């Protein structure tokens, strides 16, 4: 599968890409560490930890579906030149990254190498499946990979990124450790603030489009009663939607949390039929206005949900 995709990706790039790859990854010894992150959240955390010692590029954009990132030729160039690669992990990048790595021809950032930085390393995942049957939809064998929406687990992401950068650049160890400690302390303060802010959300019943809000809901006390998709990654059927609307009415579900990369019309119809409200949220930094940073992502999502609560 990856080889077929790789050939399809490489073919239209022609001689220009071949020339870029032939240049290799040589650069000035004093240059900043070139880090590529698959998602904007990871890029922000890598900048916070790396400081002036790193230069960070990202692949996906904040408003995109992390499961279906449109591949661009520029991704290959970035990966070919990277000194380190930061991934979310738990299989979230499996639909696009393996083929890109094959084409990029940079053995330093392959899985298992020192420069392959897996942000899920210290995360305890939720929803680890007991079966890999495709009948369950698009399941992730290692567990639900959307842990970035829980800032407590975000602290573990910072830890993994700091360790990864240190492996690649041991001379920067003290800088990375100090920056990681500072940022984790910031998250501790923000988590206390967010937990107070989220008090009205305890027990509020919600529906999401995809099964990607379990960490967010678990941390802030929401109760997810279902998803618009029939199964993860599977388009909703009329029968599923009928059952979902009936469950929402029965349970008094107040909100439909629509991830911004999904089209709004279906979410709006479901909400209207169930007497609920639609809230736009993002699963990646940059998906909502003013939420380009990791802290901004959590803050924007929380405030969007709070603002949609019925008065009283």
**What is the reported pLDDT for 279?**
97
Q: Is 255 helix (H, G, I), strand (E, B) or coil?
A: strand
Q: What is the pLDDT of the chain when averaged over all its residues?
A: 90
Answer yes or no: are the C-beta atoms of 298 and 304 closer than 8 Å. no
**What is the reported pLDDT for 29?**
42
pLDDT, average across residues 131-138:
60
pTM, to two decimals: 0.89
**What is the reported pLDDT for 140?**
73
* Model confidence pLDDT, tens digit, residues 16-52: 454 444 444 434 344 799 999 999 999 999 999 999 9
118's CB contacts (< 8 A; 6+ apart) are 87, 89, 160, 164
* Model confidence pLDDT, tens digit, residues 43-99: 999 999 999 999 999 999 999 999 999 999 999 999 999 999 999 999 999 999 999
Residue 148, pLDDT above cutoff 70: yes
Answer yes or no: are the C-beta atoms of 42 and 60 closer than 8 Å. no
Task: Identify the CATH number of the domain defined by range 200-308.
Answer: 3.40.50.1980
The DSSP result for 51-111, as a single string, is GGGEEEEESS-TTS-TTSPPP-HHHHHHHHH-SEEEE--TTTTTTTHHHHHHHHT-GGGST
The Cα–Cα gap between 148 and 157 comes to 8
Q: How confident is the model at residue 310 (pLDDT cuts 50, 70, 90)?
A: confident
Residue 285, pLDDT above cutoff 50: yes
Token pair of 50, please?
């790396």
**CATH 3.40.50.1980 segments of the chain:** 2-191, 200-308
Q: Is 203 helix (H, G, I), strand (E, B) or coil?
A: coil
Q: How confident is the model at residue 124 (pLDDT cuts 50, 70, 90)?
A: very high
Residue 8, pLDDT above cutoff 60: no
The torsion region of residue 190 among left (phi > 0), alpha (psi -120 to 50) and beta comes to alpha
Q: How confident is the model at residue 141 (pLDDT cuts 50, 70, 90)?
A: confident
**What is the reported pLDDT for 21?**
47
Q: According to the CATH classification, is domain 2-191 in 2.40.400.10?
A: no
Output the furthest CA–CA distance in the chain (Å, rounded): 64
* Model confidence pLDDT, tens digit, residues 205-257: 999 999 999 999 999 999 999 999 999 889 999 999 999 999 999 999 999 99
The Cα–Cα gap between 195 and 268 comes to 29
How far, in Å, are 31, 87, 134, 231, 244 from residue 94 at the CA level? Answer: 31, 10, 16, 18, 29
The Cα–Cα gap between 237 and 231 comes to 10
């Amino acid at each position: 599968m990856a080889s077929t995709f790789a050939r399809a990706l490489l073919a239209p790039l022609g001689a220009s890409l071949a020339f870029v790859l032939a240049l290799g990854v040589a650069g000035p010894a004093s240059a900043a560490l070139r880090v590529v992150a698959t998602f904007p959240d990871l890029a922000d955390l890598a900048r916070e930890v790396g400081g002036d010692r790193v230069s960070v590029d990202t692949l996906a954009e904040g408003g995109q579906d992390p499961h279906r990132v449109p591949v661009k030729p520029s991704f290959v160039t970035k990966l070919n030149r990277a000194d380190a690669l930061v991934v979310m992990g738990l299989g979230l990048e499996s639909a696009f990254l393996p083929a890109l790595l094959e084409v990029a021809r940079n053995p330093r950032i392959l899985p298992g190498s020192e420069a392959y930085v897996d942000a899920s390393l210290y995360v305890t995942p939720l929803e680890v499946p007991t079966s890999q049957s495709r009948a369950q939809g698009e399941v992730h064998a290692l567990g639900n990979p959307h842990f970035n929406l829980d800032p407590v687990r975000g602290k573990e992401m910072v830890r993994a990124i700091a360790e990864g950068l240190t492996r690649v650049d041991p001379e920067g160890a003290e800088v990375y450790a100090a920056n990681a400690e500072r940022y984790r302390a910031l998250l501790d303060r923000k988590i206390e603030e967010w937990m107070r802010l989220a008090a009205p959300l305890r027990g509020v019943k919600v529906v999401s489009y995809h099964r990607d809000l379990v960490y967010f809901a678990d941390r802030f006390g929401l109760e997810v009663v279902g998803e618009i998709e029939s199964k993860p990654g599977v388009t909703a059927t009329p029968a599923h939607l009928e059952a979902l609307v009936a469950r929402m009415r029965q349970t008094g579900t107040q909100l439909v949390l629509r991830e911004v990369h999904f089209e709004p019309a279906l979410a709006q119809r479901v909400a209207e039929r169930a007497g609920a409200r639609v809230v736009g949220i993002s699963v990646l930094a940059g998906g909502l206005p003013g939420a380009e940073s990791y802290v901004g992502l959590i803050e924007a999502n929380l405030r969007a949900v709070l603002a949609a609560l019925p008065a009283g």
